[in-house]
Amino acid sequence: MFRGFYTAGSGMIAQQRRTELLSNNMANANTPGFKSDQSSIRSFPEMYLSNLEATKVPVQNSFQMKGLNPIGSLSTGTYMQETMPLFTQGQLRETELTTDIALVDGRLPVNPDTGKPGAIFYTLEGSNGERAYTKSGNFALNPEGYLTTADGKYVLDTNGTRIQLPNDDFQVTDEGIIKFGELEAATLGISYAANPETLAKRDNGFFYAEQELTNATEAQGVSYSLKQGFIEQSNVDASRTMTDMMTAFRAFEANQKVLQAYDRSMEKAVSEIGRVNG
């Protein structure tokens, strides 16, 4: 009886966490460069049940030997194993702002270990000097003239240094070269992750790696382009996310009803079983 409580309870927890993940995706549907998260739900390892019985051996003194009679397997519930960002390209939206620069995927080699293509990112420097990575090209110039993200992270060039510009009247070529007329001021630093699933996602959608990623210009078989005056939108599919949220909510309700049924059964067992009629 109590196994049912744990099985239904674990299902409710898994669906609650999935709903929270989908809600975060929906909240960031309009966040430039945001990569939606996907969940992986699986069952706990199955338990194999056996019935323990005493078997009499036909010898003197009625010697007994314990025996196991297999009953079958029992699932013990589900849990959310992991969350994985989806690195597909979001749609481009024109803004006509010179500081909005969309990073467009070109040819990205498929990782032989995962069977999935790699991913490219802008290279950033955080407040503590740590490297961060993003697909959002929604940049701005701070009061000192440095090219930064909305939350103040510095955009780095191909040499890993901050990009400082005199004003926002500049042009960006398809290769990422920032120019003032014929004068080249800097080249945007683009990093390549052969296995982006190893990146840690935090700080409102920024990615972090244990070791610095490879410069995309030095990675074999990698190509990309940049479009000034555009931003890459979130790759969240709003309609599908809403459908998945309804499915998760219904699964949560189903587990809740099972839990309530177990509760009523236990209440009935406590109040009625063992009652002695006078």
Mind listing the pLDDT tens digit of every residue in the chain (278 residues)?
567 777 888 888 889 999 999 999 999 999 999 999 988 877 766 666 666 665 555 555 555 555 666 766 666 778 777 788 999 999 999 999 999 999 999 999 999 988 899 999 999 998 888 999 999 999 999 999 999 998 899 999 999 999 999 999 999 999 999 999 999 999 999 999 999 999 999 887 899 999 899 999 999 999 999 999 999 999 999 999 999 999 999 999 998 988 888 888 887 777 776 565 44
What pLDDT sits at residue 75? Answer: 67
DSSP-based three-state secondary structure for 130:
coil
Task: List the domain boundaries for the chain.
Answer: 2-82+237-272, 87-232
What pLDDT sits at residue 106? Answer: 93
DSSP-based three-state secondary structure for 81:
strand
What pLDDT sits at residue 207? Answer: 95
Taking the model in full, what pTM does it have? 0.79
* CA atoms of 154 and 148, how far apart (whole Å): 4
- Count of H-run helices and E-run strands, the chain: 2, 20
* CA atoms of 235 and 233, how far apart (whole Å): 6
What pLDDT sits at residue 259? Answer: 85
